Amino acid sequence: MNLAAIYHRPESEYAYLYTATDLHIRLRTGLNDIEKVSVISGDPYDTPGGVWHQEAAVEMLASLKTDTHQYWQATLHAPHNRLNYGFILTDFSGQSIFYGDQGFEAVPEASPSAQDSETNLMGSNAYFKMPYFQEIDRFKAPEWVKQTIWYQIFPERFANGDQTNDNEGTLPWQPDDHPSRDAFYGGDLRGIIDHLDHLVALGINGIYLNPIFEAPSNHKYDTQNYFEIDPHFGSKLEFKELVDTAHEKGIKIMLDAVFNHIGDESPQWQDVLKNGQASQYADWFHVRKWPATYTPTDNFEEARDATYETFAFTPHMPKLNTANPEVQAYLLEIGTYWIREFGIDAWRIDVANEVDHHFWKRFYKAVTALNPDFYVLGEIWTSAQAWLNGDEFNGVMNYVFTGSMVDYFARRKITAEKMVSNLNTQLMLNRDQTNQMMFNLLDSHDAPRILSIAKGNKAVVKQLYTFMFLQAGTPDIYYGSEYGMTGEQDPDNRKPMVWEPDKQDQDMYHFMQALIQLRKDHLQVIVGGDLSWDVTGDTIRFTRKLGNTTIFACFNASAESYQLDKGVGDSLFHNGYQDETLQPNGFLVSLIDKSGCKKS
């Protein structure tokens, strides 16, 4: 028995309240090392007649695997909302051992005497504890997020609805252009309002907007004034119209909050440049050496000798000191203002992991005080456990999770087994309700478009979108992907939206429309069903089971056809599938009780 691989941590993603009465328990063991695990538990104070009353043992389900570990899961309940619990593990040789808070011991008696200090492990610290089911501490997942299909809009490139507010030098709207970093095409709020029906027809019910506040750039991440809409995008009246109209159509609105840094044309930074250490905003920033200066280079976005902290090495984005109470108050007012005055539903937090936890805890409390169902999404490109305990963010942009899908299906950098291992690793880092809040995406304004990564192979793109839409997290579509838009790394991935019908990929549009409906029709199973994998070479099968309903999916990423078993059930959605044969880059999604997939 590999004791070094066995791990559990109370009051974490290994032991947490899923609902007010359901305690989810996880245990990690070595891969292929343990045959079965059971949980013994009971109320620590329930000792009638001096004998501890032990609840019936619960056998744990062998759930997800990685390339090194097996995870086990069970659900426990407690009549009095408190539990002591421990694990009995049995390996394939029949050896059993008890694992609790103090490590490993011999398996205890079923009902030890409360007076026997040597055998009454429940009366000692040997057991893990859930001292009380504290509902206030439970990670709360806004239910509407699970139901949301997001659509990310880069406002300057979506649609030019009002040419009277265009920047000087605005270029003609050409979707085939390869934009420069400082190009303007005239996209605005009116253009978004004018095309809301397009999103409704597609099935979208959530819009994520890149920054819309006053700023000199086309991307607006160099905020000048957080309390004003950029005049080239429109007005507050138009934004209010956008929010209200979207809400009437069942669409939520998420804005982009850039609180790690501010633009160098902001009045606060300009005051620092003018008055130096005497500025009232001197402590709003991280100035290492006065005066705050840098040497311009050929690259507008880079200066290595700035005497102040910045986002990356961008001298035009000085980093805010969010430990300063005045900065905190300023940013908290921004965060709540757009909720109070306009009714936005969510904030996406830019460069979220470079801001202190102390501030994010205050921020989360402030916004959820106004709207308990408010969604806070962090931009974090790696594992983000420290931010996902229920008091900072609901979820993060799930680049590390969906990146493994892209690396396998499109880039062919990893094996199918490695992809599944990576996905399971990420799932086991978070609570189940946290995984349901994760923002799953294949591309964005910060990454090449997925069709370009796939080298134009639309069958691979369809595989990827379908695979992603069958995961628990809330899925996102980057504007134009429904029409097969391409683009390499920033700024090429920010081309003007293709609105000319003769340039739109209608097949891809109808595919995406049907995929969105598939997720909506089977949402509860996809989001809440137990996940089980079966990988053979480049054929990936998985099921999601909830109650008596099972969804089966099979993806063929190989260069050969695969023959499926006859019992694969009724097809819900497929591509490259006919006569029970799955073509290369094909997939099948069906309703099934038991199924398999074998090579022809």
Q: What would the DSSP string read from start to end of 386-417?
A: GG-SSSS-SEEB-HHHHHHHHHHHTS--S-HH
The answer to whether position 223 is within a domain reads: no
Q: Is the pLDDT of residue 404 over 90?
A: yes
Q: Are 322 and 359 in contact (CB under 8 A)?
A: yes
Q: What contacts 517, CB < 8 A, 6 or more positions away?
A: 203
**What pLDDT sits at residue 595?**
42
Surface-to-core class of residue 417, CB atoms within 10 Å of its CB (0-12 exposed, 13-18 middle, 19+ buried): middle
CATH number at residue 21: 2.60.40.10
The DSSP call for residue 419 is: H
Provide, rounded to the nearest whole percent, the portion of the chain with pLDDT above 70. Answer: 96
The average pLDDT across 405-417 equals 97
Q: Are 104 and 97 in contact (CB under 8 A)?
A: yes
The answer to whether position 378 is within a domain reads: no
The average pLDDT across 356-365 equals 98
Distance CA 590, CA 196 (A): 32
Nearest to 374 by CA among 363, 387, 382: 363
Average the pLDDT over each of 124-133, 282-291, 379-388, 550-559 and give the range with the smallest value. 124-133
Q: Is the pLDDT of residue 80 over 80?
A: yes
The answer to whether position 210 is within a domain reads: no
Cα angle 187, 192, 197 (rounded to 5 degrees) comes to 145
**SS in 3 state form for 216-240?**
CCCCCCCCCEEEEECCCCCCHHHHH
The answer to whether position 28 is within a domain reads: yes
Q: Could you say which of 60, 95, 128 is where a domain stops?
A: 128
The average pLDDT across 337-363 equals 98
pTM: 0.94
Q: Could you say which of 128, 149, 183 is where a domain stops?
A: 128
Q: pLDDT tens for residues 418-475?
A: 999 999 999 999 999 999 999 999 999 999 999 999 999 999 999 999 999 999 999 9
Q: pLDDT tens for residues 514-563?
A: 999 999 999 999 999 999 999 999 999 999 999 989 999 999 999 999 99
Average the pLDDT over each of 115-124, 148-157, 196-205, 395-404 and give the range with the smallest value. 115-124
Q: Are 455 and 538 in contact (CB under 8 A)?
A: no
Q: Is the pLDDT of residue 120 over 80?
A: no
Distance CA 362, CA 91 (A): 47
Lookup result for tokens 């001197």 = 282
Distance CA 196, CA 41 (A): 53
Nearest to 1 by CA among 32, 39, 24, 41: 32
Q: pLDDT tens for residues 100-114?
A: 999 999 987 654 444
H helical segments located in 58-146: 143-146
Q: pLDDT tens for residues 236-264?
A: 999 999 999 999 999 999 999 999 999 99
The DSSP call for residue 320 is: B
Average the pLDDT over each of 37-51, 200-214, 285-299, 430-444 and give the range with the smallest value. 37-51
The answer to whether position 485 is within a domain reads: no
The answer to whether position 535 is within a domain reads: yes
Q: Is the pLDDT of residue 306 over 70?
A: yes
Q: Is the pLDDT of residue 116 over 60?
A: no
Catalytic residues: 350, 379
Q: Which amino acid is at 591?
A: L
- State how many domains the chain has: 3
The answer to whether position 559 is within a domain reads: yes
Q: Is the pLDDT of residue 292 over 90?
A: yes
Q: Is the pLDDT of residue 176 over 80?
A: yes
Q: Are 577 and 588 in contact (CB under 8 A)?
A: yes
Distance CA 226, CA 219 (A): 14
What are residue 254's DSSP bridge partners?
208, 346
Q: Is the pLDDT of residue 51 over 80?
A: no
The answer to whether position 37 is within a domain reads: yes
Best-predicted range by mean pLDDT (111-125, 225-239, 298-312): 225-239
CATH number at residue 536: 2.60.40.1180
Distance CA 182, CA 549 (A): 52
Q: Could you say which of 103, 128, 153 is where a domain stops?
A: 128
Range(s) of the domain holding residue 310: 260-318
**What pLDDT sits at residue 565?**
83
CATH number at residue 294: 3.90.400.10
Distance CA 307, CA 31 (A): 51
